[in-house]
Each structure stands twice: as C-alpha cells, then as structure tokens.
Amino acid sequence: MSIAAQLSAAFFILCAAGAAFAVVAPQRLLSVLLAAVGSLAALCILAAGAILLLADGEFHVELWPVLTLGTLTFGADRLSAFFLFVTGLVYLPVSIFSATYLKKYLAHHSLRYFCVLYHVLFASIVLVLIAEDVISFLVAWELMTIASYLLVNYEFERAESSRAGYVMLAMSEAGTVAVAIAFILAAGTAGGLGFPALRSAAPAIPDALRLVIFLLSFFGFAVKAGLVPVNSWLPLAHPVAPTNISALLSAVIVNLGIYGIVRVNLDLAPTIGAAPGLVVLVIGSLSALIGILYATIQGEMKRLLAHSTIENMGIVTAGIGAAMVFVAAGHRVVAAIALIAALYHLANHSVYKALLFIGTGAVEAGTGTRDLDRLGGIIHRMPWTSAFFLVGVLSIAALPPFNGFVSEWLTLQTVLRSAVLSSTPIKIVFAICGALLALTAGLAVTCFVKVFAMGFLGMSRSPGAAAATEARFGIRAPLAILAVLCIALGVLPTYVIPAIDRASIPLIHASATTALVPPFFVADAQQQEKVPPTFLSEFHDLGAQVGNDVLPGRGLVVLHRGGERNPVVFAMSTSYLTVALAVIIAAVFIVFNLLTRRRALARGAAWDGGLRNLTPELTYTATGFSNPVRVIFGALLNPAARQQTTAAVATHFRTAIKREYTEVHIIDRFVLHPPIDILRTLAGQVRRMQVGHVNAYAAYVLIAMLVALIVGARLL
C-alpha cells in the first residue's frame, strides 16, 4: 500500500474515531477533542494530497460489488490530489478555531451532535474527491449534502435557520438529480459505471447526447458551486450557520461543485466545440458581477461574504470556460494557463475566505454584532484580529502582492488572449466577459474597502464596538496561519503554478509551466533548450536571475511567451514587487523621520467639519458608503423602498426620514418569480371552477368520464 493510501486510511480512521469519541466523551471536552482529531485528520489529507500531486503517487482501492451495477472503487489522481490538498489546508485552521468557537454552544446545544456531523462531513467530502465510480460518487455526494444541511440547520429552533436549510437541501437535491441523470446517460454509452469506463467511451458519445450531459452536469454542479441562476441557497445559509461551518461552506463545499464541473466536462465526457465553453464563461462572468454587486450593498458581514463567494466562484468558472473554449480551438497551452488561473484562484479563495469568516467570528465574539453599521473603531481594541483581517481584505480585493491579485490578474490576462481565436463572435463574447470581470475587480475593491473602513476604523457606533475585546489565542492562531498562506501564495506564484500545472496536464494534455515560468534559475541544459537563448539573456540583463544563488525553483517571474514579434505577451513578478514595496516604504519612513526629527510633535482634536461634538450617529456608515453603488446599479438591484417619517411638533416639519429597502434578488425576479406568477395565474383560473354547487361538480365528473371514454375508444 502506498504512503498516500496509508495516509488516507489513517484519515478515515481518525474521522471514525472522532465521531465515536464525540458520543462518549464529556461534553466540556468535545470542542478540544474535535479540534485535535480534526487537525490530525486535516494533516493526513494535506500530506496525502501533496504526495499525490507532487510525487506522482496514485492509489486505487476496490471494495465490494453492488448487485450488477459494478464494484465500489476509490482512488485518486492529480486533480483529486489538488482538491484534497486545498480541503486539508482549510480544515486545519477551521478545526483549531472550533476549539474556542464551539464553547458558545455548550449551554444551549448538543455538541455531540455537532461533532459527529463535523467528522462525517469531512469524511464525505474526501469520499467525493476519491470516488472512481458513479455509485460511490453519488452516495458520498448525498452524504455530504445531508451532513452540510444538518450543520447549517444546527440552531434549528430559529425560523431563519430552518428556512435556509430547507432551501439549501431542496436545491441541492435538485442538482443531485440532474447530475445523476447526466451520469446515467454517459454510462449508457460506456456500458459501465466506473470512471475509467466512462472516460474510455467518451469519444463515442453522440454530439446531441454530449450536449445534454454537459447541461445537466454543469447546472447540477453549479447549485453546489453557488453559480447564477441556482445560487439562492448560499446567501441564506451562510448567515444562519455556525461560523466554522460558514467557513467550510465557502472555502470547501462550493469547491466540490467546481470539482464536479471539471471532472465531468474536462475528463469523463469532454465537451466538443466552443459552445459549452462559452456557456460556462458567460455564466461565470455574470455570477462574478452579480455576486459582487450584492456583496457591496450588504451591511451584515456573513451575508456580504456569502455573496462574495458567488463572485469568486464566478471568476473560477469563467477561467474554466475560457479553458474549454481554447481547447476546442486547439490552443492547448493557453487553455492550460486558463485552467491554472482558475484552480489557483480557487485555492486562493479558499484560504482568504476561511480567514475572513474566522475573522468575522472573532469580531462577533468581541463585539456582539456582525452589522457593519454598528461597528467601527475596533482596530484599537482588537489589533491582532484587525491586522489579520486586513490581510484577508487586501487578498480578496486582489491587491498586490497578496494571493488574490495573482490569480485574478492571470485570469484577466488569459481572457484577453482571445486574440488568438479566429472566430469574431467568440472574440466579442470574450471581450464582454473580460469587461464584466474587470468591473467585478473594481467593485471588489470598493466592497472590501467598505468592510475594513466601516468595520474597523473610525468611531465606534455601538456599545459593543466601544467595549470590544481581543480574540483569544485559539482564534488568533488560525487567523495567523491563513494570513501567512495569503502572503505566501501571493509572493511566490512561480512555485505554485508548476504544482497546479501537474493537476491540469492530464485534462488539457499540455503543460503551461515553461510558457508561464521561464527556467531562469534552472541550470539543466535540456530545460534551457526549450527557451531561446536570446530570450533568456535579455531577461537576465534585466535582473530576472536575481536570487538564483539562494532560491530553488525555475525563477521569480510569471510571464507568457509569445512569438518572435511579440516575445512577451504579459509579465509580472510579485516576488520582486514585494521587495520593491518594502524598499519604498522603508525609504519613505526614513525620509519622514529625518525631516521631522527637529520638529515637535503637536497633538490636537481631529477636525470634524466645524461640529462642536462629532457623535457616532453623524459618522459615515457602511450603508452610506455603498449607496452610490445602489444608485448607479439601481436598475439591476431594483430595491423597493418604503419611506417612514416621524412628525415633529409643527405639522410642516419632519424630524427624521427613514427609508427601508426590501431587496428582491435579480435571479428571483427574472428566473423564479415568472414561473411562480404563471402557476398562480393558472391556479386562479382553475379556482373559478369552485362555485360551491353540487350540480356543477357532478357535471365536471360527467364531462371527465365522457372525455375518458372517448380517448379510450380511440386508443382501442
């Protein structure tokens, strides 16, 4: 048995032991026990994923036959390994965070129930990723769906929790049915339910059937990924779920939807032609824009982060769609770059979204609220939490040199590579989607500037914010781990890209490492021969080889090589940028201190616009900050405003005007409400038959019998 298989077996043993210990251990020790067992299990799956991805280790295990449907089979390839690694990367800090966070439930809820479900969910996620036949995949998928539903509905006595859980479960089951039908259609051609059989029979699938399989699988998995138009459950589930489960929903579970899309449409039943890729690209771009628009106008932190998840999954999906189009056009290296960008952004999103959700949990514990309008000024009382949260904000806003910048920049650059395509209509679609993604990136900066500025800076706008307390070490530790990962993934992309490339090669059948990370540091003559000597010498003269003596790897510059006329299509280096930023900041600091050394420091009251006493009620709020976005995109958001006024003593004046907005999501307005309105109209017409007269009802029965007799006679 390989090392990866042994680590995977140890993982499942730990999950089973954690669930068993949760039943018998004392209630007061359960949170610490969950953290210990969950962390060990996460380390096992982290190590297994790294070995499978980097050392070409594989394992395949056959369990037992299921009637005549085939044998349950589990195994892992490089794509599975990548998702396993990301899953472990998130579960480790979330498990550590849970040791402190779960203590809030000790007095009112059963931690035994929670701990059992937590380990079941972890095990089911891994089973989904290593399943190698349809039966195993669907059983693991259903187990994961039920466990996540029960954890979201953990505080089931709250009406909003029950409603959110019901919507989540209903939509997930609908998606599962669509995926199951897609697998059945593919298996009908393959004559078996094993993934190898599906993969081998893929070329024989008729084009029409292949399109049906694509549509069913894409929109079925899109439910779990939270893509438009099947994303209604996500903004409902996140605010009501426990914070550690919210982190897993956004950083792990939505990834399974992306995994399913990639596994089916790039591996088991690859699409043919550009149309499916364009559908994926357009849906991803729309999801990104709609997600960030609704995130920008939110004031509740967890709901804001939920909409942001839709945005980021849209960016990932857009990259996958671009890869599918480039594969169909025969540009496999560019397709590999697009898929690398998508998977890179998925990993980045998992890390910084887990950081932001844990940070939100720390803010709620320290202030008693998640409402940005009631926060403010907590940076002075929660400095460590604020610093780590700022790293997450800068990362998700895609500002260099943090990790979100690298993957979003690479995605946008890849979309712009539509210039290599020959079809003008496809180029137009790429241009529109590129514009949508660029607008999304700009709105993301606005959104998260609001989050940090309104939540952490300025004056405290509630007693809870004024009396905020710093998070405990058990919360600061996972925040620190995730913050370091955000910086590392952003500063060292040239080490991340080759690893992700190993996962994309079996799907795209082309490598992008040499095209993206030239071997500036590599002395191997065979690898150097792949790059023209003049190209290497010119970049060496520019300093691209700086660090060769102290750093391993191929280099520190990410660039896409073109032809002789355009040798560099795009290029950047967050590694060197980080050094440059540090030098600039240090120089400014030194110059400032030299210029102000002889001047006395004078302190005075902050200017407050001429007011005698600036109160928290007069300061800018998150709602006010996002109001320009609400106004500019009013036609899209289309909120219904209800004005409430309070009359003063004199009837001609009003002391205050308060507007409450009732938002109806654009997907609900254009996708869900129209068929509901049609059904209600039909029901209203049918209701007219209910006249209350027995003779009329007898006539209905007689007419129905006559129709049945006539139809039956014709059939006979």
Q: b/e per residue, 497-526, with b = 16+ CB within 10 A?
A: bbbbbbbbbebbebbbbbbbbbbbbbeeee
Residue 298, pLDDT > 90, answer no
- Residue 76 phi/psi, 5-degree rounding, is -150, 140
Residue 287, pLDDT > 60, answer yes
Radius of gyration of the chain (CA): 28
Q: Which whole-number Å values give the CA distances from 608 to 51, 455, 605, in the listed order?
A: 59, 20, 9
Between CA 716 and CA 713 the distance in angstroms is 5
Q: Are 257 and 225 in contact (CB under 8 A)?
A: yes
Of 391-405, 477-491, 567-581, the least confident: 567-581
- Residue 662 phi/psi, 5-degree rounding, is -105, 110
Q: How high does pLDDT run on average in the chain?
A: 87
Confidence grade of residue 106 (pLDDT, cut at 50, 70, 90): confident
Q: Which residue shows structure tokens 């000024």?
A: 377
Residue 10, pLDDT > 90, answer yes
Report pLDDT for 94: 95
Residue whose C-alpha is closest to residue 319's, from 277, 291, 268, 350: 277
Report pLDDT for 692: 74
Confidence grade of residue 530 (pLDDT, cut at 50, 70, 90): low
Q: Which residue shows structure tokens 């032991």?
A: 17
Q: Any residues with CB less than 8 A from the CB of 490 and at least 6 apart, and which? A: 348, 395, 400, 401, 402, 403, 404, 405, 406, 574
Report pLDDT for 593: 83
Q: How many CB atoms lie within 10 A of CB 353?
A: 27
Read off the pLDDT of residues 362-372 as tens digits, 9 standing for 90 and up. Answer: 999 999 899 88
**Is residue 545 packed enough to be buried (19+ CB in 10 Å), middle (13-18) or exposed (0-12)?**
middle
Between CA 411 and CA 285 the distance in angstroms is 11
Strands (E) across 618-684 are located at 640-647, 654-662
* Residue 90 Ramachandran class (φ > 0 left, ψ -120 to 50 alpha, else beta): alpha
Overall size of the chain counted in residues = 716
Confidence grade of residue 569 (pLDDT, cut at 50, 70, 90): confident
The CA-based angle 33-37-38, given to 5 degrees, is 110
Residue 639, pLDDT > 70, answer no
Positive or negative: CA dihedral 22, 25, 29, 33: negative
Report pLDDT for 553: 79
What is the percent of the chain with per-residue pLDDT over 70, rounded to a whole number? 91
- Residue 5 phi/psi, 5-degree rounding, is -65, -40
Of 87-91, 562-566, 660-664, 680-684, the least confident: 660-664
Confidence grade of residue 504 (pLDDT, cut at 50, 70, 90): very high
Read off the pLDDT of residues 430-451 as tens digits, 9 standing for 90 and up. Answer: 999 999 999 999 999 999 999 9
Positive or negative: CA dihedral 143, 106, 97, 405: positive
Residue 641, pLDDT > 60, answer no
Q: Are 568 and 562 in contact (CB under 8 A)?
A: yes
Report pLDDT for 525: 47
Residue 567, pLDDT > 50, answer yes
Between CA 655 and CA 644 the distance in angstroms is 11
Between CA 422 and CA 430 the distance in angstroms is 12
**pLDDT: which is higher, 68 or 422:** 422
Read off the pLDDT of residues 50-78 as tens digits, 9 standing for 90 and up. Answer: 999 988 767 888 887 776 677 888 999 99
What is the full DSSP assignment across 358-403? HHHHHHHHHHS--BGGG---TTTT-HHHHHHHHHHHHHHTT-TTSH
Question: For 342-371, what is the mean pLDDT?
Answer: 94
Tokens of 577: 């940028």
**pLDDT: which is higher, 565 or 104:** 104
Residue whose C-alpha is closest to residue 47's, from 97, 98, 6, 95: 6
**pLDDT: which is higher, 520 or 253:** 253
Q: Which whole-number Å values give the CA distances from 269 to 42, 186, 499, 683, in the listed order?
A: 31, 8, 25, 42
Report pLDDT for 655: 56
Tokens of 213: 């399989």
Between CA 119 and CA 11 the distance in angstroms is 10
Residue 528, pLDDT > 70, answer no
Of 168-177, 322-331, 334-343, 517-526, the least confident: 517-526
pTM: 0.90
Read off the pLDDT of residues 315-324 as tens digits, 9 standing for 90 and up. Answer: 999 999 999 9
Confidence grade of residue 305 (pLDDT, cut at 50, 70, 90): very high
Q: Are 196 and 155 in contact (CB under 8 A)?
A: no
Residue 643, pLDDT > 80, answer no
Report pLDDT for 481: 95
Q: Are 651 and 623 in contact (CB under 8 A)?
A: no
**For the range 610-617, what are the long-range contacts, defined as Cβ-Cβ under 8 Å and sequence gap of 24 or more?**
614/459, 616/376, 616/459, 616/460, 616/461, 616/462, 617/461
Question: For 580-609, what is the mean pLDDT?
Answer: 81
Report pLDDT for 642: 54
Of 172-181, 217-226, 388-397, 682-691, the least confident: 682-691
Residue 49, pLDDT > 90, answer yes
What is the full DSSP assignment across 301-312? HHHHHHHHHHHH
Question: For 461-473, what is the mean pLDDT?
Answer: 89
Strands (E) across 54-198 are located at 59-66, 70-76
Report pLDDT for 656: 56
Q: Using the 8-state DSSP alphabet, how is residue 268 labeled?
A: I
What is the full DSSP assignment across 21-43? HHHHS-GGGHHHHHHHHHHHHHH
Residue 529, pLDDT > 60, answer no
Q: Any residues with CB less than 8 A from the CB of 477 and at least 6 apart, and which? A: 93, 96
Q: Which residue shows structure tokens 């004199």?
A: 650
Query: Per-domain residue ranges for the chain?
Result: 1-132, 520-576, 621-662, 675-715
Report pLDDT for 144: 95
Which residues pair with residue 661 across a beta bridge? 641
Q: How many secondary structure helices (H) and strands (E) does the chain include? A: 29, 6
Question: For 155-159, what is the mean pLDDT?
Answer: 86
Q: Any residues with CB less than 8 A from the CB of 311 and at least 6 apart, and which? A: 287, 288, 289, 291, 292, 295, 440, 444
Of 64-78, 310-324, 490-504, 515-529, the least confident: 515-529
